[in-house]
Copies of this chain bind each other. A is one copy, B any other.
Amino acid sequence: MTVADGRSFIEEGAPAHDFFVVTGGRVKLFTLLPDGRRQITGFAEGGDFLGLAASTSYAFGAEALGGATLCRFPHAGMQRLTERFPSLEHRLREEASRELALMQARMTLLGRKTARERVATFLMERCSHLERTDPSQPIELDLPMPRTDIADYLGLTIETVSRILSAFKKEKLISIRSITHITLLMPERISTIAEGME
């Protein structure tokens, strides 16, 4: 199943018939308020599960971010699978647990961190998607999502995100090679900011 850039494939509140696994590209998950305010609850990429947070109807909408490929599993089929392979059920629970722990961290971010701390946390999160690197060396990052999405993920406005990235640049903590391509010059400092210790 292929989804074009910006195309929505899960409607918030719609009856939930399927699980999805992201096989390629990227996806954003979000919830909306009636007046259009949006909270992006997560980004998913290759290997991530989608739809664990769905009982009878989806608790979130989902949209491709620059084109994505997915594997769709109807709930009924999943049920048959879990009956034959009980370890799958265990795997799904593990996945849900991992996700829960991530969400708790994100709640702390949204409820208690300053804008600076949020952006720093976001940058460090992006790092953790990379293969391990020496934390004292510069790290090159790709930010495939537009500023609007970063803002809606961090509970900020795009102006604030932009301003803080500019401030980090001025402080020589990062360099901005292009809109999507950022280098962390002092990953450890950024990590310190992210944890609220400065």
Q: Which A residues have a C-beta under 8 Å from some C-beta of B?
A: 31, 33-35, 37-39, 41, 52-55, 59-60, 82, 86, 89-90, 92-94, 96-101, 103-108, 110-113, 152, 154-155, 195-197
* Chain B residues, Cβ within 8 Å of A196: 33-35, 37
A-B contact pairs, 13 of them (CB 8 A): A31-B107, A33-B196, A34-B195, A35-B197, A39-B111, A41-B108, A59-B104, A93-B96, A96-B100, A106-B107, A107-B110, A110-B155, A112-B155
In the bound complex, what is the Cα–Cα distance between A37 and B109 (angstroms)? 11
In the bound complex, what is the Cα–Cα distance between A92 and B94 (angstroms)? 10
* Chain B residues, Cβ within 8 Å of A82: 90
Q: Please, which residue of chain B has its CB at the minimum distance from the CB of A108?
A: B39
* Chain B residues, Cβ within 8 Å of A37: 112-113, 196
* Chain B residues, Cβ within 8 Å of A55: 94, 97-98, 101
Q: Please, which residue of chain B has its CB at the minimum distance from the CB of A29?
A: B104
In the bound complex, what is the Cα–Cα distance between A157 and B89 (angstroms)? 41
4 smallest beta-carbon distances between A and B, as pairs = A111-B155, A53-B100, A110-B110, A96-B96
| Closest CB in chain B relative to A85 CB, distance in Å | 10
